[in-house]
Structure 1
Amino acid sequence: MNKPHVLVLGGGEDQLPAYHEARRLGYGVVGVDQRPEALGATAADLFLCMTTRDPRRIAAMVGHLDVAAVISPASDAAQESVAELSRILGTPHQPAPDAVRASVDKGYFHSVLERLGLPTYRHVQSADPDELERAAAGLPLPVIVKPSDSSGSKGVQVVADPRALPAALDEARRHSFSGRVIIEEMLLGRHLSAEAFLRGSRLGTVAVTERTTTGAPRMITTGHTVPAELPPATEIRLRSLIMDICGELGHIDGPVNFDFVVDDRTEEIRFIEMGARLGGNGMPLLVKHAYGINTYEAALHLALGEDFDLTPRHNKKTALRILTSDTDGILRTVEGADAVRALPQTVELQIFAKSGSRVHRYTQAGHKLGYLLLVADSHTELREARARAEALLRFGVEPDPPRAPRIPPVGPELLTEKSPHDLPVGPELLTEKTP
């Protein structure tokens, strides 16, 4: 354990490539995730089964190591810890504080847009449910209810009936670390994303994607296609606005991603939220296959204080499809994977769930089953290939049996078991690979 290590916060499918990239560059890997079954548990040299939101405790656990960099792709929740650990451990790259705040506080991001005079829309943010309900009465329905500081579409819901608002607020609050919830006017138009990487206060690269979602009530991302079919003037305007926002936040180097809506009639761009980190839902894979740029490697070099390469190797029309289940249960079969891999447009098919594992309905991004990446010469060919792949690929899920009515416990002798996430982190929850 004498060689330098990279500390990766999070151990899911979108963080796992950073583990492999760090090892390819010759570093040991320390992974942190509160789920003992996380993919990073077996991929790390040292795995800490604990929350990523306790930077001082993490720092104490890795104090005996030479930690050369801290990174957390795809996780807004861990960005404050990345910043604090970078400071405590004295690693070369220090994230811009305002960019971190804009990533974890949707209300603050709105205030940045207002400060810059950019197009915005009505919203209210509070930890007080009564204040939120009163304010929502002044917003046109439908509205979108979200946790103010969470990501991955957890707790997000479109509300079209005022009677459904209290339940939506309760759900959003359960997924908020701070207890704050934001209610936003629902924007109409094309939903798009931008996965960008800055270098020396300039855009090194940006992938503008057409984003598909589940639609109401959850609006969870189901796929991306790049490049989005935007008029050149709109794309030029988008790049300028990204630079304005990043300049205001002091974000001069590194990855950043934005979700935004373009008005179908006026082409006006309205930003929804941002994250000053590598995007989730397979966005770095999309960039790799579309442009030949390894943003995991670039982000690691930046965190290590080294130069990084954003030179595009090619420019290909690429689609990413997120694989999901519409049923809670046990995955029994996966059919058609070989046939999908044999399609000429398929460049990558990743299936995270294994036969016999528990899967969940796609009510948040963390419930995905895998990624499908397709490359073609035209958007029409991409759509046709995606349709063929979806017809071939089948997940056989044995549904959970109906739940029996819950009988309330009676008496002090009934105890509740702690979940693994509530357990203290001791030697038994720390795994280290032997050389």
Structure 2
Amino acid sequence: MNKRLLILGTLGEFEQLVQKARARGIYTIVCDGYPDGPARAFADESYVIPVTDTDRIAALCKEKQVDGILTSFSDLLLECMVKISAKAGLPCYLNPEQLPWYRDKSATRGLLEELGLPSPGFAKIPTTGFAPELISHLHFPLVTKPLDKYGSRGIYVVHNLEELKQAITETASFTDLPEILVEEYNDGYEFNMMTWVHKGNVHVISIADREKTDIGPGEIPISTRNVYPSCLYEQVVSPAADLLQRYADRTGQKEGALSMQFFWKPESGIQVCEIAARFFGYEHELTDMVYGFSIEDLLLNYLYDVPALEQMLAQHDPRKPVCHGAVLYFQGRLLPIRDLSVPQKLASHPAVKKPWIFYHEGESVIAHGPNPYVALYYISCPSRKELDQVTEEFFTTMIIPDDDGNEVLYRNQMPVYPADTDLSGSGEGL
């Protein structure tokens, strides 16, 4: 019988995974709750079922006699895949008992504390009846977070008790749980790290500079650029890889994706932000662009060709990019879009490898919908210096007006790196 694969997810990120699976002769079924998901056009079969209806999707897997299930790029999709695979008897690199260490922020923080791994000071506090002594061991500024949500939802930065009380109310509106997480805010450099665990060993795929822009008091800074490879790679790779190895050893993860967002300051080292058992959405494309390392091929090899997976890992060197690349994120206020002529013009810039404009003229930007950004661009240059120059050009010229001539987009800003940071890489190594 031909291989039969269910891919959980039909948005644009999954198009290449579906296409690559079919190119291998794998019968491909896609499923999620988005009826207009563009990846549906490339699949052999397509079903509209909310990913949280795990019983129904598990029944579909049995009915269609699928032999594997894949997803990535979101924590919710990862969680649902693990539950579906357990119910349908399909192979998966995690089991439901391991999920809390990757999905529950309090369980993650607790395990990091147990292992003595560096993470921000934190406390779980009730959404009602807050008492100041609950955070007496913490130092402002603080961040409030829902314990059960991802994607920067319900996260606020506070500098005193009055701001904290207000933020507790606002964060509580994003969760049904009786508690939220409060942790110390780290203003250091931030990084995205993607790895793959094979036979219990963590293999580094990439480390990116995760650059952000402040948008106003109380608001968490927004992500505006992720750059591959990180200009601070050598400073952070060893402690970050060691930390993830210890985490995987403790959770029992022997295979699969393992990613981490973390902070670093020259004077205090690294500190964990989040750990997830999946790859980063709208970013994994950069490993292919910068290294020729395809995340889609890695996922398919995990299920169907382990020797090829081992060869990929053995041949990959994250210190040797073939070019420097970045994804530029443009995020917007909840306003109607009048004119997209500037982002459309920038889409034809010679450095752009793939543009992605998520809205049409006349539409309004919405919060926490299927479109996570207003627009994004994957760009590539021979050196980091040239990449920064192109980025600055985009950040200064990008404009999207609303019906009243107001700017829809937040204004992206470039960060400042330590004076001794080498930003002149040629693309042949760091």
Could you tell me the TM-score, scaled by structure 2's length? 0.81
Aligned counterpart, 2:260: 258
Post-superposition Cα deviations, 1:374-409, rounded to whole Å, max 9, x if no partner, equal 2223322111111223445443544799xxxxxxxx
CA shift, 1:259, in A, is: 0.8
CA 1:324–1:128: 2 relative to 1, 3 Å:
closer
Post-superposition Cα deviations, 1:68-94, rounded to whole Å, max 9, x if no partner, equal 222221111232321121122222334
Structure 1 CA distance, aligned partners of 2:225 and 2:267? 24
Structure 2 CA distance, aligned partners of 1:120 and 1:205? 20
CA shift, 1:339, in A, is: 4.7
Structure 1 CA distance, aligned partners of 2:177 and 2:48? 22
Structure 1 CA distance, aligned partners of 2:108 and 2:370? 22
CA shift, 1:153, in A, is: 1.1
CA shift, 1:277, in A, is: 0.8
CA 1:189–1:391: 2 relative to 1, 3 Å:
closer
Post-superposition Cα deviations, 1:14-50, rounded to whole Å, max 9, x if no partner, equal 3444333333333344333334444445555444434
Structure 2 CA distance, aligned partners of 1:132 and 1:400? 45
Q: Which residue identity is paired with 1:341? A: S
Matched, 1:325 2:329: no
Structure 2 CA distance, aligned partners of 1:399 and 1:43? 40
Compare 222-231 and 16-25 and name the one that shifted more.
16-25
Aligned counterpart, 1:406: none
Q: Unaligned stretches of 5+ in structure 1? A: 402-435
Structure 2 CA distance, aligned partners of 1:24 and 1:171? 47
Q: Which residue identity is paired with 2:243? A: L
3-state SS in 1 of match to 2:237: helix
Post-superposition Cα deviations, 1:314-369, rounded to whole Å, max 9, x if no partner, equal 612222111332342246434353454332x33222223334444236x7895313
Q: Which residue identity is paired with 1:53? A: T
Alignment of 1:30-429 (within 5 A): 30-40=29-39, 42=41, 44-97=43-96, 99-125=98-124, 128-131=127-130, 135-136=134-135, 139-176=138-175, 178=177, 180-215=179-214, 217-230=219-232, 232=234, 234-266=236-268, 268-280=269-281, 282-304=282-304, 306-307=306-307, 308=309, 309-310=312-313, 311-312=315-316, 315=321, 316-330=323-337, 332-343=339-350, 345-360=351-366, 366-398=371-403
Structure 2 CA distance, aligned partners of 1:373 and 1:133? 45
- 8 A Cα contact 1:192 1:208, kept in partner: yes
Aligned counterpart, 1:416: none
Structure 1 CA distance, aligned partners of 2:162 and 2:11? 36
Q: Which residue identity is paired with 2:352? A: T
Post-superposition Cα deviations, 1:182-212, rounded to whole Å, max 9, x if no partner, equal 1111123111121112222333333111111
CA shift, 1:261, in A, is: 0.8
How many residues are aligned here? 396
Structure 1 CA distance, aligned partners of 2:138 and 2:70? 39
- 8 A Cα contact 2:337 2:400, kept in partner: no
Structure 2 CA distance, aligned partners of 1:321 and 1:389? 9
Structure 1 CA distance, aligned partners of 2:192 and 2:271? 11
- 8 A Cα contact 1:329 1:360, kept in partner: no
CA shift, 1:126, in A, is: 5.0
Structure 2 CA distance, aligned partners of 1:338 and 1:358? 21
Structure 1 CA distance, aligned partners of 2:361 and 2:26? 33
- 8 A Cα contact 2:192 2:262, kept in partner: yes
- 8 A Cα contact 2:330 2:375, kept in partner: yes
Higher relative contact order (CA 8 A, sep 6+): 1
Flag as ranges the 4+ runs of structure 1 deviating above 6 A: none
Could you tell me the TM-score, scaled by structure 1's length? 0.80
- 8 A Cα contact 1:52 1:78, kept in partner: yes
- 8 A Cα contact 1:9 1:31, kept in partner: yes
- 8 A Cα contact 1:195 1:255, kept in partner: yes
CA 1:381–1:218: 2 relative to 1, 3 Å:
same
- 8 A Cα contact 1:351 1:371, kept in partner: yes
Compare 150-159 and 90-99 and name the one that shifted more.
90-99
3-state SS in 1 of match to 2:340: strand
3-state SS in 1 of match to 2:289: helix
3-state SS in 2 of match to 1:113: helix
- 8 A Cα contact 2:22 2:43, kept in partner: no
Structure 1 CA distance, aligned partners of 2:376 and 2:153? 19
Structure 1 CA distance, aligned partners of 2:158 and 2:284? 32
Compare 325-334 and 295-304 and name the one that shifted more.
325-334
CA shift, 1:224, in A, is: 0.8
Structure 2 CA distance, aligned partners of 1:339 and 1:279? 24
CA shift, 1:293, in A, is: 0.4
CA 1:229–1:365: 2 relative to 1, 3 Å:
farther
Q: Which residue identity is paired with 2:124? A: Q
